[in-house]
Amino acid sequence: MSPLMHNSAFEDNGINAEYVRFHVKKEQLPDAIRGIKALGIQGVNVTVPHKEHVMSLLDGIDPLAKAIGAVNTIANENGKLIGYNTDGLGFVEGLKKAAGDRLENKSMLIIGAGGAARAIYYTLASSGVRKIDVTNRTPGRAVKMMDACPFPLDSSFLTLEAAENELHEYDVIIQTTSIGMFPHIEDSPIKVNALKRGSIVSDIIYNPLETSLLKQAKEKGALTQNGLDMFVYQGALSFQKWTGIFPSYSIMRDTVLQQLGG
């Protein structure tokens, strides 16, 4: 989706540029980074499996990206390659859009403990949210993520069973795993029987646009949000790092929706 989304933003802003995809194997990563410099490429996005490995090859790392331990955006700043992470920031911008008020006042639960969860957890903590609990199938990775967070935070680990029983305690539930993604669209990571009416349930998946979890949450009276806002905002923030211009969110979002057939 990224090439279509970014190229629509370049066109809208009259910028003579093009976003293209490069397949880079792990052993080629150092050469690829040198190539970015040599060719004067203004910036790139980085996706799995390179988000962590690329960090040691850059000239500088933004403090939030350093805390998260992963880079998804590189900007060429006067010949210096600086790494950023816009995943968590993109999610927070989208969540603000859904929440309609200050996030600091919300009690939150994150489902999952992978790379996306870490970016969201740390970014929310850095933005002033004080209560974020985590649930995951296994505690090890989740506890490690929580213990390593450099920002002040009230946080506890819950088993999935405990989280299901205590869902009514949370204003915001954030689903960060791949459970429910196409083609396994009937799967759901958690039961929502105890969900509080009026809470926000955000699933970072955007294919399908409404996961099984979101359908069930909507039936319980929750406000639901898919992963489209996060995807578009993280892209817009990357675009801003490369060009100094924050692009039209609506144009980028419409481009992705059209491609998804929505």
Among residues 25, 26, 37, 51, which one is catalytic? 51
Is residue 37 part of the annotated active site? The answer reads: no
Higher pLDDT, 260 or 157: 157
Q: How far is CA 28 from the centre of its chain?
A: 26
CA distance 134 to 121: 9
CA distance 213 to 201: 8
Q: What percent of the chain has pLDDT over 70?
A: 99
Q: List, for residues 69-83, the tens digit of each pLDDT value.
A: 999 999 999 999 999
CA distance 30 to 56: 10
pTM of the predicted model as reported, rounded to 2 decimal places:
0.94
**How many residues does this entry show for the chain?**
262
CA distance 227 to 205: 5
pLDDT at 262 over 70: no
pLDDT at 98: 87
- The vertex-14 CA angle with 259 and 44, nearest 5°, equals 65
Burial (CB < 10 A; 0-12, 13-18, 19+), residue 23, is exposed
